[in-house]
Each structure stands twice: as structure tokens, then as C-alpha cells.
Chains A and B, each alone.
Chain A
Amino acid sequence: MNEPPARAGTPQDGEHAPSVASQLALWQKAGGLLVPLLTTVFAFLVGGLVVLVTTGKNPLTTYRAIFEGSGLNWFLEVGAHELRLPFTETSVPFPWQTNDLESLAALNLQQTLITWVPLVLTGLAVACAFRCGMFNIGGQGQYLVGAIIAVWVGSELPSLPGLLHVLAAIVAGALTGAAWAGIAGFLKAVAGTHEVISTIMLNWIAVWVGVFLFGLGGPLQNDTQPFVPVSNDVLEESKLTVFWGDPFLQGLHVGVFVALGALAVYWMTLNRTTFGFQVRAVGHSPEAARYGGISVARSYFLAMALAGLFAGLAGAIDIVGWQSRLNTSDIRTSSLGFIGIAVALLGRNTAIGIGFSALLFAALVVGTSTRNLDPEIFRPELASNLTLLIQGLVVLFVGADVLILYLLGRGRRARRRAVASPQE
């Protein structure tokens, strides 16, 4: 269902002269960038129309407020500032204001980047399965089990020295996520169970296991606050270092580099390893892959497990990075795993695409919070709905890729016929 349409046209068009094929490849590359951009622009246009029609406010003002709320305007505020070098007392000139007590943009940007981390990882979780021809709706559940295990390791286990504890929490969370998604992959591999159904069901199991564990009377519920449905806080030694902002108030933690690393790992695995080749081959055509000697079942299982690994990592990093605890209402209302689907769709399952589309969605989520939207500009009650609206439009228009490519392709073919006919 997610076969890139341009590629489907390749064999047919490739029969012409090689120059056409290379032209097409070039065009595909350009289209790969152009279409998501058009999609985004279109979604924002329609979103703006909705803002205009429903509230009568100027959509540009609203979008500007969202942009500023996301903290991305930080990069535009260039001035003469100083940056203290890590581990030293010396300061060097720096073009941006890094002190978040001085700059609200810096604070907002930290929040956007904190949100960017899980969106990248849940986006990868969806993309990874996509490349193997599967639709992983279970990013949310895999994210949750990762978070649940990370809370457990971080708060209940006796403290380990140095970085061991935080590493243990992250690794345990990621592996649990992998196992959780692996269930769906395994069922698909051996019994042909549709992964959409099984991952959705696994989402609910994860949610209610979490509510059971941390709800009132649950086995992992807070020891000191018996009437609050929340887990214990993770120990100090199982928290990631915060390198920008206030460590106690959701400053930016080093998990952003893990997310960057995950993007690189994803690219490497899919494009530069045998396993990645097998996964992509199965994604293109399971039958052809099987004929070529690739174990389709194994690819299904491993691709799903890798997807779960990314999502579980997201949950674990959120816990040890800034959340420190898990409460039952968050377990029920969190939707990061689902935004990951939109991230992967818009990013067209490529590493760079996911990096940027995660940034777009993180900026939307943070920028439309009521904290950042002036009631004069946009009614705060509607603010978070605007995120969902634009998100939905993006997903809808990503589906329209097919249409845009088809129309462009038709125009091209028509022109080619027009050029070719005089020679005949």
C-alpha cells in the first residue's frame, strides 16, 4: 500500500533511452523532496483557511505565533552573546542567547527539541516496518512498554554505579520495545496475522498494563503518595545529563544525540547492510525476495523488532531524560507514537526526511500549546486542536502524493508523445 508510486513507474519508463531513465531518477529525487514540501505547504494553507473561516483571525499571525512558540525564532535572534565552554570557566562569543532565563525562545526551543527526540524515534519505528512492507500502528504501545520498563529499572532497582544505571534503564526499555513489536512480527511471520490488527491490540495491552501497574493499589504505584496514581521517581543516577536549561524543569538532555545517532543507524542499517537489503527486498515484493533466497519470515520479525527497539528507546529516553515518572493519565492520553506515523509518512521513510518532519511536528506540538498562543491571536481552547488538524491534513495529503505524481507523470507522458510523434 505504501509502494512509492514513482518507483512503480520505473520499469515501464526505463525501457526508453537511458537518458530518460536518468532524468527520471533525478526527477524522482527532486520529487522526493518536492512532494513532502508541497504537502506541508498545502496542509498549512488549508489549516490557515480553517483558522480564517472559524475564528476570523489572520492565519499568518497565528502561524507566526506558533513559530515563535516553538522557539525556532531563537535562530533568528542573532546578537552578541557569550557561551561558556563545557567543563571550563572561559566564555567565547556566540551568536545566540543560550541563557533560557534571558530568552523565552531558548526555553521554547528546548521544549521543541525534547519533543523532537521521541518523534524521531517513533517515526523511525514506523518507517522501519514500512520499508519491510508492514504498517506499524503499535509505536504507541512500544513507546509505553519502553517507558514502563525504564521507570521500573530507574526507580525500583538498587542503584548502580556511574552511568550503568541510566544505561541499564535505556537498554531495558529499548529491548522491551523490541520484544513487544517482535510479538507482532513473529505472529506475522509464522501465522500471517495482520500486523495492523496485532499492533493495535498490543497498544491497548500496553496501556492497561501501565494503568494497572501505576494505578491506585498497583504493584509499582508510588510508595510515599498512596492516593496518587503515579510511579516512583527514577533515582538521580538514572537521569540523563541536561546540557541546556534547568535540569529540574525539563531542560534539554543528551538524548537528542541518541536520536541523531538513531537516524544514522537507521540509514546505515537499511542502505549499507545485508539485513537492510533483505528488509527492503521483502518490502518491495515478498515473493521475489523469497525466490531470491531471502527468509521473508525472518525479515518480518527482525524489521518489526528493530522498529520496536526505536520506539522503546523513545519511551525510555523520555523517562530518564526529563519525565522521571509515569502517571496513569499520561499513559492513557499520550499520543507520541501516533504522531510518529505522520512523521514517517511525511518524511517518506528516509532518515533525513524523518529528522525534519519530526522537527515540524515537534514545533507544532509545542508551538500550539496555550502557553505560547496569545488569546488575542487564537483561542487557546482550540490551540491543540490546530496541531491535530494540521497533522491530519499532512497525513491526508501524503496519501495525495500518489495523485500529484500521477498527474505530473501524465503531463510528462503527454509531452513526450507530442515530441515523439513528428519523428514517426
Chain B
Amino acid sequence: MSVVAALALVAPGCGGDDEPSSAVSPTTSAASSREPGDAQAPIRVGLAIGSGRSDEPSLDLLARQGLERARNELGVGSRVLTSRTSAGYLRNLTALAREDYDLVLAVGRHRSSSLAEVAARFPDDRFAIVDMGQGDLKGSPANVRGLLFREQEAGYLAGYLAGLVTRHESGSRQVIGSVGGRKIPSVDRYIAGFRAGAQAANPEITTLNAYAQQFVDQAPCKEIALDQIARNARVVFQVAGQCGLGVLAAAGEKNVRGIGVDVDQRYVGEQVLTSAVKKADVAVFQTILALQEGSFQGGEDIVFDVASGGVGLGEVAADVPAEIVSQVNRIQAEIAAGTIVGIPETVR
């Protein structure tokens, strides 16, 4: 009780003063502001992620790997803070900003409001957010860079592979399916690319598509996938996060192939043909590289694509014939070179 009674005496007029001082934290002894690219003092990058499992791939985990790579190859200082709720997330971002990290990284849509708030309170610090447009943040803060991905290119590659595999493996009825979480732009970019890629590889192919209307519960996604498989789909592409694991489960049960999304989901099982991957590790690494070279700028989005190695395919199933893999690799090179253009971004 005395604890709180003492606090009752503490009144307004605390905090909210001028510049953030060098806060003494348990880990960083001193933290003066450093210029990026300064050879003597290595730049320091802080990353705030959720506390998901560390043995299951996720964008959080990829971002962390990107930061670790930057620490090993570029010699930057790094600190990773995890939290379960957005309350802790805001605290972590605040702590990193207060401790004058040269770049503070956040990952994912769920964290966008926390980042927008902290970025607005620390206008002199630099921030970046993976998988979220800077313009979509509240107030479009000028010190934040959005790291986006050209999902349609990854979808295109996955679709191309699926088209070839279907022609190779099934007879006259060539059908593939995709299961989206909701009809939102990032999901539709994957699906539009997937369908375009499949058509390009195999003009006779029929593509099915449906949305589960959510990203969490696996059952609806599994149901849709089972329905598509019953309609002769030989490959099903999940674009529905957690829900989509139900798609891969359905593919496993019915002995057809599934395609993972966002991260390499080969770990799910042998039924996974490949995954359409957002390489958050590449995005984070390249962003830190840009910071070190002095070309980092807030207030804009950087879109990572096949050419920059930011999107692509995950591990391909071992039983896929080598000539199909090399054909897909050729397509990837063509996308990177800019010869394949106009991949659609919207479904219908």
C-alpha cells in the first residue's frame, strides 16, 4: 500500500521533456546518437517481434535471421525484443527508440498501430516495418520505411510450378485450386499471380479459388480444400496464414500436393510441393545495408521482388523432375530480368 501511497504524491510535470536522454539499460551501457556509416561506432539495430515458437518459420523469425546475418556480415549491433501482446510490443518499441537504436524494426500488420504511435513520438529516430506500407500507417510518419513484397511474382512462380507438375502427373482433367483467407490485396496478389503462372505454364488448366473469410481456424480452410480436391484439384495453394495449414493438412490426407505461403512450409510434410515465400530476412538485411551505406530514407515504401531476391519459392519437393525445376528457374530468371511483365495483381 505504501508503494502506491508514495506514487500518489507524484504528480504531473514529469516526462514529456525535450530530447531523449541516454537511458541506462541493463544491456547497453552508453548510447549516444551515432551517425550511420560511421566507421568507428557500429550502427545498432533493434527488432521487436512477437513471442512465437522459435522452431516454426514465421515472418518474425525470418526478420530475426536477417538481423543476425547483418550482425555477422555487417558487424551491426543488434537487440531483439519479444512480446506476446501489443502492450508489450509498444513498450519494446519505446525502449528501443529511447535507447537510440539507429534503426528500429517492427514486423507485420498487427503491430502497425504500435509502430505508428512510437514513430510519431520519436521523430528523429528511424523505423521500418516489414510487410506493411508506410502510407497505411496512421499519420503516414515520415521516419518510417515500409518493406513490402511483390507477392504476385512469388505466386506466379508457384503457379508455374503447379501447372507443370499437374500436366506431368495427372491425366486429362487438369485442375488446381487456391484458398485465400480473405479477399484483401496482399492475398489477391498471391492468387492472381498463381493463376497467371499456372495458365502460362499450362493453358489447359482449370483454376479454382475460394476464400475462408478468416486466417485463424484451420477447419474452414480444410473444408474448402477438400471440396477443391473433390473437384479434381491436384495442387492446392494456401494463402490464409494459420487457417491455411488446414489446406496443407487436406492435401496430406487426400494425397495431393499443397503449396505453402509467406514462409517455407516444407516442414509441414511431404505433401508440400513448395512455398511462395516473402523473404523477410532479405528485406531486413538489405534495409540494414542501406542504412549502413547512408541511403536509408523514411517516408517511403521499398518493394522487394524476385529481382532483389525478396520473394521467391521455398524448398521444392524432391520428387519433382529436374527439368521442371530448371524450367521454373528459367522463368524466375526471366521475371528478374524484366522479360515477364504485367503479372496481374487482382483476382477478377
A382 to B215, CA, bound (A): 28
User: What 1/0 mask marks residues of chain B from 177 to 188 whose CB sits below 8 Å from any chain A CB?
Assistant: 000001011100
For B80, what are the chain A residues with a Cβ–Cβ distance below 8 Å? 370, 380
Q: How large is the interface on A (under 10, 10 to 19, 20 to 34, 35 or more residues)?
A: 35 or more
B1-60 contacts to A (CB < 8 Å) = 1, 3-4, 6-17, 20-21, 23-27, 51, 54
Q: Are A329 and B83 in contact (CB under 8 A)?
A: no
Given contacts A111-B91, A228-B110, A230-B113, A100 and B213 within 8 Å (CB-CB): no
Q: Are B87 and A323 in contact (CB under 8 A)?
A: yes
Count, chain B residues at interface, CB 8 A: 57
Q: Are B213 and A217 in contact (CB under 8 A)?
A: yes
Shortest CB distance B282–A (Å)? 23
A102 within 8 A of B: yes
User: What 1/0 mask marks residues of chain A from 357 to 381 whose CB sits below 8 Å from any chain B CB?
Assistant: 0010000000001111111110011
Q: Are A333 and B10 in contact (CB under 8 A)?
A: no
A330 to B4, CA, bound (A): 28
Shortest CB distance B91–A (Å)? 6
User: What 1/0 mask marks residues of chain B from 312 to 330 whose CB sits below 8 Å from any chain A CB?
Assistant: 0000000000000000000
Q: Are B118 and A249 in contact (CB under 8 A)?
A: yes
Q: Are A327 and B26 in contact (CB under 8 A)?
A: no
For B138, what are the chain A residues with a Cβ–Cβ distance below 8 Å? 224-225
User: What 1/0 mask marks residues of chain A from 249 to 278 whose CB sits below 8 Å from any chain B CB?
Assistant: 111100011001000000000000000000
Shortest CB distance B182–A (Å)? 5
Q: Are B83 and A369 in contact (CB under 8 A)?
A: yes
A215 to B112, CA, bound (A): 15
A244 to B4, CA, bound (A): 13
User: What 1/0 mask marks residues of chain B from 77 to 121 whose CB sits below 8 Å from any chain A CB?
Assistant: 000111111111011101100100000000001101100011011
For B95, what are the chain A residues with a Cβ–Cβ distance below 8 Å? 371
B214 within 8 A of A: yes
A333 to B13, CA, bound (A): 35
For A69, what are the chain B residues with a Cβ–Cβ distance below 8 Å? 26
Given contacts A227-B185, A249-B94, A374-B26, A257 and B86 within 8 Å (CB-CB): no
A182 within 8 A of B: no
For A327, what are the chain B residues with a Cβ–Cβ distance below 8 Å? 86, 110, 113
B227 within 8 A of A: no
For B23, what are the chain A residues with a Cβ–Cβ distance below 8 Å? 101, 104, 107
Shortest CB distance A310–B (Å)? 17
Q: Which of A79-87, A125-133, A389-397 contacts B (4 or more CB under 8 A)?
A: A79-87
For B13, the closest partner residue in chain A by CB is A84
A329 to B114, CA, bound (A): 13
Q: Are B21 and A84 in contact (CB under 8 A)?
A: no
A249 to B119, CA, bound (A): 11
For B85, the closest partner residue in chain A by CB is A330
For A326, the closest partner residue in chain B by CB is B86
B136 within 8 A of A: yes
For A98, what are the chain B residues with a Cβ–Cβ distance below 8 Å? 10, 14
Indicate which residue in B4, B84, B87 contacts A250 across the interface (CB closer than 8 Å).
B87
Q: Are B94 and A228 in contact (CB under 8 A)?
A: no
Q: Are A104 and B1 in contact (CB under 8 A)?
A: no
Shortest CB distance A16–B (Å)? 36
A248 to B113, CA, bound (A): 12
Q: Are A334 and B17 in contact (CB under 8 A)?
A: no
Q: Are A246 and B6 in contact (CB under 8 A)?
A: no
For B184, the closest partner residue in chain A by CB is A227
For B13, what are the chain A residues with a Cβ–Cβ distance below 8 Å? 83-86
B216 within 8 A of A: yes
Shortest CB distance B10–A (Å)? 5
For A225, what are the chain B residues with a Cβ–Cβ distance below 8 Å? 112, 136, 138
Q: Are A373 and B26 in contact (CB under 8 A)?
A: yes
For B17, what are the chain A residues with a Cβ–Cβ distance below 8 Å? 99, 101
A75 within 8 A of B: yes
Given contacts A84-B11, A113-B7, A327-B86, A228 and B24 within 8 Å (CB-CB): no
A339 to B184, CA, bound (A): 36
Given contacts A104-B25, A352-B1, A372-B26, A83 and B186 within 8 Å (CB-CB): no
Chain A CB count within 10 A is highest, among B7, B109, B213, for: B7
A195 within 8 A of B: no
A243 to B7, CA, bound (A): 10
Q: Are B14 and A371 in contact (CB under 8 A)?
A: no
Indicate which residue in B8, B27, B94, B121 contacts A375 across the interface (CB closer than 8 Å).
B27
A333 to B216, CA, bound (A): 13
Shortest CB distance B119–A (Å)? 11
Q: Are B27 and A229 in contact (CB under 8 A)?
A: no
A100 to B84, CA, bound (A): 24
Q: Are B184 and A216 in contact (CB under 8 A)?
A: yes
Q: Are B92 and A371 in contact (CB under 8 A)?
A: yes
A27 to B1, CA, bound (A): 23
Shortest CB distance B133–A (Å)? 10
Indicate which residue in B11, B82, B113 contacts A370 across the interface (CB closer than 8 Å).
B82
A248 to B123, CA, bound (A): 14
Q: Are B84 and A384 in contact (CB under 8 A)?
A: yes
For A329, what are the chain B residues with a Cβ–Cβ distance below 8 Å? 85-86, 110
Given contacts A104-B25, A244-B7, A355-B1, A369 and B88 within 8 Å (CB-CB): yes
For A75, what are the chain B residues with a Cβ–Cβ distance below 8 Å? 3, 6
B214-228 contacts to A (CB < 8 Å) = 214-216
Indicate which residue in B16, B91, B109 contacts A369 across the interface (CB closer than 8 Å).
B91
A383 to B214, CA, bound (A): 31
A21 within 8 A of B: no
Q: Are B110 and A229 in contact (CB under 8 A)?
A: yes
Q: Are B213 and A104 in contact (CB under 8 A)?
A: no
For B182, what are the chain A residues with a Cβ–Cβ distance below 8 Å? 216-217
For A250, what are the chain B residues with a Cβ–Cβ distance below 8 Å? 87, 90-91, 94
Shortest CB distance B183–A (Å)? 9
For B92, what are the chain A residues with a Cβ–Cβ distance below 8 Å? 369-371
A100 to B87, CA, bound (A): 18
Given contacts A250-B90, A370-B80, A381 and B14 within 8 Å (CB-CB): no
For B214, what are the chain A residues with a Cβ–Cβ distance below 8 Å? 215-216
**Ranked 10 nearest A-B pairs via Cβ:** A84-B13, A86-B11, A98-B14, A374-B26, A371-B95, A370-B81, A245-B15, A100-B15, A374-B27, A227-B184
Q: A87-B12, A243-B11, A327-B113 are in contact. List 7 more A-B contacts (CB 8 A).
A: A101-B23, A101-B98, A227-B184, A228-B110, A248-B121, A323-B87, A329-B86
Show 20 A/B contacts (Cβ-Cβ < 8 Å), sorted by A. A83-B9, A84-B13, A86-B11, A96-B6, A98-B10, A99-B14, A99-B15, A101-B15, A215-B214, A217-B213, A228-B109, A228-B110, A248-B117, A250-B90, A250-B91, A355-B4, A371-B92, A381-B51, A381-B54, A384-B83
Chain B interface residues toward A at CB < 8 A: 1, 3-4, 6-17, 20-21, 23-27, 51, 54, 80-88, 90-92, 94-95, 98, 109-110, 112-113, 117-118, 120-121, 136, 138, 182, 184-186, 213-216
